[in-house]
Amino acid sequence: MAKTLWYCALGDGEDAMANCIAMNPNLDFCCDNDLIATGHVGGALRLWADGGVAAGQTEGREPITALAWSHLHSHRLFVAHGSGVSELDLRQLSLTSPVAHHSLQLSGDDELNSLSLAPSDSLLLSADDSGSVTSFDVNGVLQSHCGSSSILGSHDNIASCVSFLPNQCDMAVSCGLDMKVILWNTRRRKRLWSVDLSGSKGGQSTDPCVNPPLCHALSTSQHGSLFAVGAGDGTARVFSMTQKGAKENVTMRCHTSATTQVCLCPKRIRPLLYTGGDDGQLHLWDVSGEEGKDHSRSSRRHRRQRKCHTVQKDNSGSRCLVSIDHGQKLNGLVTGMMAGQQVMLTIDCANLMSAYPSALRLGEG
């Protein structure tokens, strides 16, 4: 089992449980700007520095369900709470007096589940319980405090996640509990491609106890040519972009229960994927599908480390490089830079935030 770099308690009781986590993109490459944001069931937004040191807090009245940090301004954070999205300036942190706020017409107890900001910071996407994927004109929000929004399209059930594809002009991907993954053109407001995971090559199982592949998690690669989806049947699927849309490259049986977290590692020569599940396990996968190749000079180190890190092969050809028994269901998983090194952060149902070493230090060169 890999040891944590650090961990911290988020508080006691259900209200202290964190629904979501985000890391500052650290545009200035300065350790003083390293920040983590967590959104909580009780309505609190909390900021943290390296080591789990509290760095700020503001209280709201509704559960915070999603966060999105600006790609261009490290003090700019978008927060989903209730049926609306607020833009906060972290230099004057307040949920009750945001820089801007936009409300959606959601029914009953419906909530926003995911936010994604375009690399240019011009457009914000949300996914919600009604199944809708909605786009916000962020510049409009800044100018009028009620910027224009419109529904890009809809899933047939809850829309779990949405994400822009970096370096893919006007492209975004979403997934939902209808078991569908949809590729969108945000400028033309058009559905370009979709797949139903219940009918894909990894979606059928003869085991009646296996859950259906409801889509719970989504991650895009830094260059935008890959994205990964975590599903309720314990699988993770990696897709690559094509001229006609996308194709499924790899399907892995990762967890004994739902795969609720996926995260493609940034700045890697070959694709590595973190997965987390309701079974309390964390895995690091090589999803390049290139079996039998000596990828790097680290192969000798892998042989020396096999007593600590067992390399397992999935029948898809992917390799599980590292397994961590975290011991709790995960509510969030992100990677980023803290104190000059890359780390993986988790939040869980035990109200803990934990920091693990990066993929490199876990044994992958």
Give per-residue pLDDT as tens, 28-86.
Answer: 545 556 899 999 999 999 999 999 999 999 999 999 999 999 988 889 999 999 889 99
Secondary structure percentages of the chain, helix, strand, coil, to 5: 5, 50, 45
Cβ neighbours of 150 (radius 10 Å): 9
For the full predicted model, state whether its pTM sits above 0.85.
yes
Q: Are strands 215-220 and 190-196 parallel, antiparallel or unpaired?
A: unpaired
Tokens describing residue 190: 């058009």
In this structure, is the dihedral angle defined by the CA atoms of residues 119, 123, 127 and 128, taken in order, positive or negative? positive
Residue 143: which H helix or E strand, with range?
helix 138-144
Beta bridge partners of 117: 124
* CB 245 within 8 Å of CB 196: no
* CB 256 within 8 Å of CB 277: yes
Nearest to 211 by CA among 268, 258, 267: 258
Note the pLDDT of residue 200. Answer: 66
Note the pLDDT of residue 98. Answer: 92
Q: What residues in the chain have per-residue pLDDT under 50?
A: 1, 29, 141-146, 206, 208-209, 290-311, 364-365
Contacts of residue 13, defined as CB under 8 A and 6 or more positions apart, other chains included, come to: none
